[in-house]
Structure 1
Amino acid sequence: MTSLRAADDRDLDAILAIHNDAIAHSRAIWTDALVDRREREQWLAARREVGHPVVVAEVDGVVAGYATYGPWRLKSGYRYTVEDSIYLDRAFRGQGIGGLLLGEIIRIARERGLRVMIADIEAGNTASIRLHERFGFTHAGLLRGIGTKFDERLDLAILELPLDS
């Protein structure tokens, strides 16, 4: 059975492992530098401090993935716009858990009066794009060749979801 809850300190090792796996083995996070537990502790504390949710999905007591949103841009004019992030443990992909997590952070964002959620997705990540489309995200643009990972040039698909309509 899958359950969702707010992440806490006991989840940091699982979040760290999922995050570093995405860095090392996917094009989802455009960096080559793995992070350590201290970085994830600071990241979680910073999310809590500003009120951005971090939600974990548990399957039979195991953290299967997590989702959050944060500022899309730092200037105050964008304060009602957020960008989502969803990462799953490889063993739990394709089981609908990403949809549960995305639905929950959309619900929280709407409840908090946010206006738009943005998804910046590597254009070849069709699974993530389709997931977002199922929740009503539409394509807002494509930036060609702006990223690099594994010595490949990457395109960025930008999707948007109005939250207040």
Structure 2
Amino acid sequence: MPTIRPATAADLSGILDIYNHAVLHTTASYDLEPVSLQSRQEWFTARQKAGFPVLVAEGASGEVLGFASYGTFREKPGYNGTVEHSVYIREGQRGAGLGLALMERLIAEARQQGLHVMLGSVDADNAGSIAFHTRLGFRQVAHFHQVGRKFGRWLDMVFMELLLEDEQ
């Protein structure tokens, strides 16, 4: 099993490759064009500054096989206990347990930080991702119709929610 560890700046090229493949070939991201290395560096720096983890799954030869992170859900202070996560796995590596390992570690870190809710935004047609989140204890709490457009069609999005702690 690959090593799950905090990402470093040296991992950003691998993270960028995985993300941009998803941008170009899937509806996992509603970005329409590949992002730049500079934008990934800014994203990484912002996550570090905010104290949010960026985790990678590292293969035996040091390659980045997947990554996961969470960040601010909304900017208003009343949302400070809620984060939105993302998890991406390299093409050809999906279904091998990497996503599960990354998410279990990410959820543990969110709990250690005292966060209350983790949200995931999933394309409504991505039954695999919805089932994956459900296995982790997330439940679907919203369905937004035609909120995105990619590959010449309108896309629905669902929110998946995980309560990280009992109501306080």
TM-score relative to the length of structure 2:
0.96
Distance in structure 2 (CA, Å) of the matches to 1:151 and 1:80? 36
Distance in structure 2 (CA, Å) of the matches to 1:58 and 1:20? 18
Distance in structure 2 (CA, Å) of the matches to 1:32 and 1:138? 27
1:83 aligns with 2:62: no
Match of 1:62 in 2: 63
* Cα displacement string for residues 84-127 of structure 1 (whole angstroms, at most 9, x for unaligned residues): 10001002111010001111110000000000001110001111
Number of positions where the alignment pairs a residue of Structure 1 with one of Structure 2: 165
Alignment-mate amino acid for residue 129 of structure 1: I
Q: How is 1:9-158 mapped onto 2 (pairs within 5 angstroms)? A: 9-60=9-60, 61-158=62-159
Alignment-mate amino acid for residue 53 of structure 1: P
Q: What are the ranges of 5 or more consecutive residues in structure 2 without an aligned counterpart?
A: none
Distance in structure 2 (CA, Å) of the matches to 1:17 and 1:45? 18
SS in 1 for 2:92: helix
* Cα displacement string for residues 128-161 of structure 1 (whole angstroms, at most 9, x for unaligned residues): 1111101110110111111111111011111110
CA RMSD of aligned residues (A): 0.8
Distance in structure 1 (CA, Å) of the matches to 2:142 and 2:50? 29
Deviation of 1:33 after TM superposition, in Å, equals 2.0
SS in 2 for 1:16: helix
Distance in structure 1 (CA, Å) of the matches to 2:38 and 2:120? 26
Alignment-mate amino acid for residue 139 of structure 2: T
Which 4+ runs in 1 deviate beyond 3 A? none
Task: Give % identity.
Answer: 40
Q: What are the ranges of 5 or more consecutive residues in structure 1 without an aligned counterpart?
A: none
